[in-house]
Chain A
Amino acid sequence: MRLSHSTQQQLLRIAAYVFLAVMAVLFMFPFYWLFVSAFKAKDQIFSLPPVLWPDPWRFSNFAAVFEKTHIVQAFINSVVIACGHCTLALFLCSLAGFAFAKYPHAPGRDKLFAFVLATMMIPGAVTLIPVFVVLCKLHAINTYWAMIVPGAASAFGIFWMRQYTMENVHNDLLDAARIDGCSEFRIYWSVVLPVLKPAMAALGIILLIGSWNNLMWAFIVLRTTDMYTLPLVIYLLNGENRTPFEMIMAASVLATLPLVIAFLFFQRQFIAGITAGAIKG
């Protein structure tokens, strides 16, 4: 017996749902494990058979994290660094992106833009040591600046913003503003920026993820406990011989939640922004 076309399609769709559901469960499982481990007693984390559901739920792990580590300070540091980096980078990239998109007659514009694109090819790994040395000389090691500034002028961000500006900011809008006597910066600030919002949301989340989770650079430039960020605090707790796993798990939950929540909130804008800036070339 041959299945009718629509039954076939129905079956395929059910299969797709099952597949996606299984995958979603697989992908979420480490989160589940992280979450329940944060509420287990230390012995339960390593007990056999594994404890799938903590009993009782211990909130004392979180209390211990707050009491014994500088997690609050680290949280503040992470927020300052991630927000600072994000704001600075978004500002610089949108400003330069706007300039590259909307001043077609500026002498040398295309060459300069090609140069910006070329700098994308320089991997951070090559400049790791010299940037460290430069920051030493500027006495910027162990400051927020060392985390915020070096990556802020991102060529990728400029490219992204230019693309979006070219397609979504109309020249008549700019001309109208000029006739009204707006200064060029004013035009950028009041006319262009509002239009760029979706692109900024998408780029902002990408930058935020990178900055919030940055371990290597934090390890290199942040030198004292009061400057540590969340990933660094967790990493250093983890390497300790007496690894307090129940505390690490609790701290990990605290480090993970903000971005997860932010993503869930802005998911729609993020996807829309990525789609709008989709790679076109």
Chain B
Amino acid sequence: MSRCSVIAALVIGLAVEACAGEPLLIPATLQPSEYRGDIQIWSWNIAAASLEKLIPPFQQRYPNVHVRIDMNATNLQSRFLLSLAARVGAPDISQLQVREAPRYSVTGKLTDLTEVAKKYEKAFAPSFWESCVYEGRIYALPWDIGPCAVFYKQGIFEQYGIDVGKIETWDDYIAVGKELVAKSDGRTKMLCVPTGNMADLFEIFLQQSGGQIFDVAGRIAINSPETLETLNLLKKLLESGISGNIMPFSFEYFASFKSDTIATYPMAAWFGGLIRDYAPDTGGNWGVFRLPAYHPGGLRTSNLGGSVLVMPDQCTQKEAAWAYMEYAMCTPEAQLAQYRDFDLFPALLSTHQDPFFDEPVPFFGNQRVRRLFSLDIDEISVMYRTTDWMEAMRYVQQALSKWADKKQETPAQLMRSLEEKLSRRLNRPIAPSTEKRAEGAVP
């Protein structure tokens, strides 16, 4: 054996990993009081607050399970993967963005929930359930989804005598925005388009148009008429002079909830929870109208965000952890409570028929916003996320930022360069053109 191969063997020997753990099985005879443990959960923001609020009712059922919520979203992906790789430091349960879920499922470091969770397969929208499954095994439970609409400040539009009810398409929206900016002498912008961070808007617009970044087979499918439509819309918004440049989720952004710098926010349902949380005294001043369509009669909703819960393999009290996951995600009572208190739109389908959805919401000027958000949800196209979604979106965001700054490329050129870049960076082939893609779609 040569010296080189000894070294190579040493090197590889250290890197060999144990294989994934056994699927979680819970005997049916286990009584709720027999579940025991101290469960630590990673979560963020209003979602964390929501999980916290579910603890007392949960403990009435499972008196011997204690739950602690760690609220911190900073660089969660890195921290979570580092803990998985090091096999130490992961929580018992973690919240994840639904779009990140496939990234973690493939690692084999999450608990296989198939045996305990498969009975819920039909309880959730298929497009969300799909993100929780990898190679036929279930690794996550869907939590909330992010149907989109436009949040607006009623006071501003009343002050300038502008009617938002006439907005049907994005062109109408821009026209109203121009009127608003003109009447307020440029003080009030219609919306916030952060040139350095347009990924969220891009995702909303892309999913609304039915476009994709990947196709079902995981190939790069960003080169499409839908993407072009999306980019053209972004370009129009940027060039119309109705947008302000504030980084989303920065302190200035949250401060804008209370001021009159920004009039509307095209965002997902959970955004309402953020407003209620950061600017509780603005209640009643807000309203919601449906997302403007690309064309008259077009789809007036989209999706942004939404999350899942997962259980890392390191969790030592899996039964207790599962008890909490199941309670929080799969009981209508818990899911409705989370929507009521924190605007987390339930992924659990059975809740959408609840009369609760037709109640007026005082914070949003007594509008029936929950029903509004639930409209046409099943028409939102399924996004094929793959394991590279987060990385791909980062490249998209960087390219968009450069594009908005330099203003050299046309949307079509930008799209083509993105296609090439993504294919190369992610080592994935480019999908055949749109017509062929529809035929050749094999899962």
Cα–Cα distance between A135 and B14 once the two chains are bound (Å):
11
Q: Which of A142, A219, A236, A241 interacts with B86 by CB under 8 Å?
A: A142
In the complex, whether A240 has a CB less than 8 A from a CB of chain B is yes
**Which residues in B have their C-beta under 8 angstroms from that of A221?**
86
Contact with A along B31-53 (1 / 0, CB 8 A): 00000000000001100000000
Contact with B along A86-120 (1 / 0, CB 8 A): 00000000000000000000000000000000000
* CB–CB B251/A46 < 8 A: yes
* CB–CB B89/A46 < 8 A: no
- Number of CB contacts from chain A to chain B under 8 A: 57
Residues in A125-171 with C-beta less than 8 Å from chain B: 132-137, 139, 141-142
**Which residues in B have their C-beta under 8 angstroms from that of A46?**
251-252, 255
**Which residues in A have their C-beta under 8 angstroms from that of B86?**
132, 135-136, 141-142, 221, 223
* CB–CB B251/A136 < 8 A: no
**A134-B88 contact in complex given A239-B73, A242-B45, C-beta closer than 8 Å:** no
* CB–CB A241/B44 < 8 A: yes
Contact with A along B357-375 (1 / 0, CB 8 A): 0000000000000000000
* CB–CB B89/A142 < 8 A: yes
- Name the residue of chain A whose CB is nearest to the CB of B45: A241
Cα–Cα distance between A220 and B88 once the two chains are bound (Å):
12
In the complex, whether B381 has a CB less than 8 A from a CB of chain A is no
**Which residues in A have their C-beta under 8 angstroms from that of B78?**
219
Residues in A166-198 with C-beta less than 8 Å from chain B: none
Cα–Cα distance between A133 and B75 once the two chains are bound (Å):
20
Q: Which of B14, B88, B249, B252 interacts with A133 by CB under 8 Å?
A: B14
In whole Å, how far is B279's beta carbon from the nearest beta carbon of chain A? 12
Residues in B28-87 with C-beta less than 8 Å from chain A: 44-45, 70-75, 78-79, 82-83, 85-87
Residues in B77-110 with C-beta less than 8 Å from chain A: 78-79, 82-83, 85-90
**Which residues in A have their C-beta under 8 angstroms from that of B71?**
240
* CB–CB B74/A238 < 8 A: yes
In the complex, whether B18 has a CB less than 8 A from a CB of chain A is no
In the complex, whether B15 has a CB less than 8 A from a CB of chain A is yes
* CB–CB B15/A133 < 8 A: yes
* CB–CB A224/B89 < 8 A: yes
- Name the residue of chain B whose CB is nearest to the CB of A224: B89
Q: Which of B44, B88, B249 interacts with A142 by CB under 8 Å?
A: B88
Contact with A along B194-232 (1 / 0, CB 8 A): 000000000000000000000000000000000000000
In the complex, whether A62 has a CB less than 8 A from a CB of chain B is no
**Which residues in B have their C-beta under 8 angstroms from that of A242?**
45, 277-278
**Which residues in A have their C-beta under 8 angstroms from that of B85?**
132, 136
Contact with B along A196-227 (1 / 0, CB 8 A): 00000000000000000000000111011100
* CB–CB B74/A137 < 8 A: no
* CB–CB B14/A245 < 8 A: no
**Which residues in B have their C-beta under 8 angstroms from that of A141?**
86, 88-89
9 closest A-B pairs (Cβ-Cβ)? Answer: A223-B89, A239-B74, A141-B86, A236-B74, A241-B45, A224-B89, A142-B88, A136-B86, A223-B83
Q: List 14 contacting pairs A-B, 8 Å CB cutoff, sorted by A.
A: A46-B252, A132-B85, A136-B85, A142-B89, A223-B79, A223-B90, A235-B74, A238-B74, A239-B75, A241-B45, A242-B45, A242-B278, A243-B251, A245-B251
With contacts A225-B70, A240-B74 known, what are 12 further pairs, Cβ within 8 A? A135-B86, A136-B87, A223-B79, A223-B86, A223-B90, A235-B74, A236-B74, A239-B72, A240-B72, A241-B73, A241-B249, A242-B277
